């Protein structure tokens, strides 16, 4: 018998219902699972925002298993608890469980997945959770998030009120999906830890600098807050706001090389002393150039160190003019001047808000960017909470 060809009757479906069935045959369990797996992998690749990602993954799972709801818990080792990142049906309420309690606790510690036909017939089932959530599951699927050897980092569970709703191959699918989800959780955790570490380093660095002089002890924090507020007023991107926050905290780091006798001199600086003070901008550039900033903070060394440059070329350290001065440096310049004017110095009292703005207006547009000055006014007038006053200003 000849093999069917493209024109053979075997390749041509019958009309009507048969045509529909042949074009869209019912999916086998294997095909459904493969499709769910692909949806989850697409969801993982579609966003870097971990909470959004977890929500999407759990929505796919609930739909794929025809289940009532699903949850994803991550372990908080400091408190010994499993904390819900996604708890469908509990929107707005977080759920914290002791990490040894119930079926979740069992899966977390054993690192073994579980298929439960009827939770009410299982001694390990924690009825207290049902009472708190006002939901009693009967059938359950649970899988550990265990992306590396050692303790698990969380648990995924899918639930339904119909006993025996899930099958063994459903558990295999959940187990397979738990692998990329676990790796994503671990990456998100490491990324957050790295960011916290970087932020704490920046804060500690700027606090150590500001602590050298009681008159400027929160100058860096104030400049960071004003600069971020101005960026918000100007509609600049969140990434620019974050860049300015770090630059504000670190802009005067070069003062670490300025003699204390100049920094805290109770009177006006002599010309020679002022020249020495001005060197802090170049020192900032050299110090910040030693830090291996990621792409998100590109240009930090030379832009942050340009916070004393003026549009007419009268600034320092390089006497840049007009468009040679990056926007971020122009924002920092206005923020820096406003804070310096309004805070007490060793040789004068801090100016009032109104007087400081008059001085700034007098420097605009020759030295200061009018758009940045307008952004400062907008930020200060918008009722957004201004940074706290310098306690040393008394
Ligand atoms: Fe400075
Ligand atoms: Fe400054």
Residue 383 has a pLDDT of 55
Q: Which ligand is nearest to the CA of 316?
A: 1
Catalytic positions, please? Answer: 255
> What distance in angstroms lies between residue 277's CA and the mean position of ligand 1's atoms?
9
Q: Which residues pair with 139 in a beta bridge?
A: 160
How big is the CA angle at 352 (ends 343 and 281), to the nearest 5 degrees?
35
Residue 274, token pair as written in the block: 């002022």
Q: Contact, 310 vs 201, CB < 8 A? A: no
Q: Calculate how far, in angstroms, residue 335's C-alpha sits from the geometric centre of ligand 2.
A: 8
Is 368:311 a contact under the CB 8 Å cutoff? yes
Q: What is this structure's pTM?
A: 0.67
Which residue positions in the chain have pLDDT lower than 50?
1-21, 385-394
Q: How far is the CA of 305 from the centre of ligand 2 (A)?
A: 10
Residues ≥6 apart with Cβ < 8 Å to 111: 144, 146, 152
- The CA 252 to ligand 1 mean position distance, Å, reads 5
pLDDT of residue 16: 44
- Spacing, Cα 101 to ligand 2 middle (Å): 53
Q: Which ligand is nearest to the CA of 248?
A: 2
Report residues near ion ligand 2: CB below 5 Å: 252, 336
> Residue 131, CB half-sphere, CA atoms under 13 Å: how many?
5
Can you tell me the distance from the alpha carbon of 382 to that of 380, in angstroms, rounded to the nearest whole number?
6
Structure tokens at 275: 């020249």
**CB atoms inside a 10 Å sphere around CB 150:** 8
At 91 the pLDDT is: 55
Residues 357-390 have pLDDT tens digits of: 999 999 999 999 999 999 999 999 865 544 443 3
Tell me how far apart the alpha carbons of residues 273 and 216 are, in angstroms, rounded to a whole number. 18
Report the sign of the C-alpha dihedral through residues 264, 251, 365, 349, in that order. negative
Q: What ligand has the least distance to the C-alpha of 255?
A: 1
Task: Give residue 380 CA to ligand 2 midpoint distance, Å.
Answer: 19
As a whole number of angstroms, the distance between CA 70 and CA 40 comes to 14
Q: What phi, psi does 158 have (nearest 5°)?
A: -125, 140
Structure tokens at 223: 């400049």
- Tell me the DSSP string of 310-343: -TTS--SSS---GGGS-HHHHHHHHHHHHHHHHS
365 preceded by cis ω (within 30°)?
yes
Q: Which ligand is nearest to the CA of 315?
A: 1
Q: Exposed (0-12), middle (13-18) or buried (19+): which is 299, by Cβ within 10 Å?
A: middle
The β-bridge relationship of strands 81-87 and 69-76 is: antiparallel
CA 281 to chain centre: 30
Phi, psi of 156, deg, nearest 5:
-110, 140
Phi, psi for residue 325 in degrees, rounded to 5:
-90, 120
pLDDT digits (tens, 9 = 90+) for 209-260: 877 776 777 899 999 999 999 999 999 999 999 999 999 999 999 998 889 8
List the beta strands (DSSP E) in the chain. Answer: 69-76, 81-87, 96-98, 114-116, 139-145, 154-160
Distance from the CA of 210 to the center of ligand 2, in angstroms?
10
Identify the nearest ligand to the CA of 218 by its number. 2
For the beta sheet containing 81-87, the strands, ordered from the edge strand earlier in sequence to the opposite edge, are: 96-98, 81-87, 69-76, 154-160, 139-145, 114-116
DSSP 345: B
Ligand 1 centroid–CA 309 distance in Å is 10
Q: Give the side-chain half-sphere CA count within 13 A for 252.
A: 30
Ligand 2 mean position, distance from CA 390 (Å): 14
Number of DSSP helices (H) and strands (E) in the chain, helices first: 14, 6
The Cα 200–Cα 248 span in angstroms is 14
């Amino acid at each position: 018998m000849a093999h069917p060809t493209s024109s053979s009757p075997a390749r041509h479906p019958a009309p009507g219902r048969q045509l529909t069935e042949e074009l869209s045959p019912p999916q086998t369990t294997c095909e459904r699972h493969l499709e769910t797996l692909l949806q989850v992998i697409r969801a993982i690749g579609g966003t870097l925002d971990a909470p959004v990602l977890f929500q999407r993954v759990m929505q796919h799972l609930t739909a794929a298993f025809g289940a009532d709801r699903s949850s994803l818990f991550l372990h908080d080792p400091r408190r010994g608890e499993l904390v819900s990142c996604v708890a469908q049906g509990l929107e707005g309420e977080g759920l914290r469980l002791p990490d040894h309690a119930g079926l979740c606790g069992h899966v977390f510690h054993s690192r073994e997945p579980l298929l439960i036909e009827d939770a009410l017939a299982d001694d390990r089932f924690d009825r207290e959770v049902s009472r708190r959530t006002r939901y009693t599951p009967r059938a359950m699927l649970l899988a550990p998030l265990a992306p590396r050897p050692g303790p698990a980092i969380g648990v995924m569970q899918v639930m339904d009120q119909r006993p025996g709703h899930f099958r063994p191959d459903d558990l295999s699918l959940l187990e397979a999906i738990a692998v990329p989800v676990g790796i994503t959780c671990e990456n998100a955790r490491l990324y957050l830890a790295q960011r916290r570490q970087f932020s704490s380093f920046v804060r500690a660095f700027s606090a150590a600098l500001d602590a050298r002089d009681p008159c400027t002890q929160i100058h860096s924090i104030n400049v960071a807050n004003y600069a971020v507020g101005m960026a918000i007023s100007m509609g600049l991107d969140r990434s620019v706001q974050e860049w300015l926050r770090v630059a504000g905290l670190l802009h005067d780091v070069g003062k670490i090389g300025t003699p204390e006798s100049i920094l805290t001199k109770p009177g006006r600086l002599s010309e020679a002393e002022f020249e020495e003070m001005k060197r802090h901008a170049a020192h900032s550039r050299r110090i910040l150039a030693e830090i291996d900033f990621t792409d998100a903070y590109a240009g930090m060394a030379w832009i942050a160190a340009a916070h004393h440059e003026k549009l007419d070329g009268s600034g320092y350290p390089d006497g840049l003019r007009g468009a040679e001065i990056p926007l971020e440096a122009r924002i920092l310049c206005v923020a820096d001047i406003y804070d310096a004017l309004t805070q007490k110095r060793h040789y004068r009292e801090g100016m009032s808000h109104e007087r400081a703005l008059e001085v700034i207006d007098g420097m605009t547009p020759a030295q200061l960017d009018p758009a940045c000055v307008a952004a400062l006014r907008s930020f200060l007038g918008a009722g957004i909470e201004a940074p706290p006053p310098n306690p040393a200003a008394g």
